[in-house]
Amino acid sequence: PTWQVQDKAYANNVAYTTGKLCFHTDYPVLQHPPGVQFLHCIKQTAAGGESEVVDGFHVSNKLKKQNPQAYQILSSTAVDYTDVGVDYCDFAVQCKQRIIDVDSRGQAVRINYNNATRDTVFDIPAEKVRPFYTALKEFNDLLNSAEHRFIYKLKPGDIVTFDNWRVLHGRQSYQSGSEVTRHLEGAYADWDVVMSRLRLLRKRVLNRD
């Protein structure tokens, strides 16, 4: 199934407005967020609406080098994400995620960061709240550094594909009009499905050769 990204009345998500979208990964509110995201540009606004991406693994590694304590906080603190509303159907989802998910070696394997769905509930000891937000600000500053972010503008017909576990994406604001001026169509896929299809394709190519 696909979904439409365009400004609309009574939007339940900033993505469905003309406002700026800060860097985020999609659906950290799910226990298993989608691994691959596709965005197909159907219509593009004349001014504004540029897309932005940043490599979350690169930024995480940089944070680990310059402030190991901040990295440890973001890779060990469980953050509540919640999303309640109506979009095709009624929904109410909630999940706890570490912003930097790591493996047994302490290496980042998934970024779970979306301030729009980060809950107001934060059940950690009071003395750990300030260090957490200090670490989060440093991580966010690195994400938004001109050194790390890449800005581009999709044209009608373009399709961008990226790793939702690694790449954070955003969008610059644009002006609203009397009709929809910017329209993207999106879809998700899980990594296990993608890898299965790639293995099948490789097998067919090898058999053909």
Domains and CATH numbers, the chain: 3-207 (3.60.130.10)
Give the pLDDT confidence score for residue 209 in this predicted structure.
Answer: 65
pLDDT tens per residue, the chain (209 residues)? 899 999 887 777 788 888 999 999 999 999 999 999 999 999 999 999 999 999 999 999 999 999 999 999 999 999 999 988 776 678 788 999 999 999 999 999 999 999 999 999 899 999 999 999 999 999 999 999 999 999 999 999 999 999 999 999 999 999 887 888 899 999 999 877 766 777 777 777 778 76
Give CA–CA dist 32/15, Å, rounded.
21
Cβ partners under 8 Å of residue 96, min gap 6 = 78, 79, 80, 81
Amino acid at 205: V
Asked whether 50 and 182 are in contact (CB, 8 A), the reply is: no
Alpha-carbon distances, residue 122 vs 23, 77, 80, 140, 200 (angstroms) = 21, 10, 7, 18, 44
Nearest-5° angle of CA 183, CA 187, CA 78? 110
Asked whether 52 and 169 are in contact (CB, 8 A), the reply is: yes
Asked whether 183 and 8 are in contact (CB, 8 A), the reply is: no
Give CA–CA dist 27/29, Å, rounded.
5
Q: Is the pTM of this model over 0.75?
A: yes
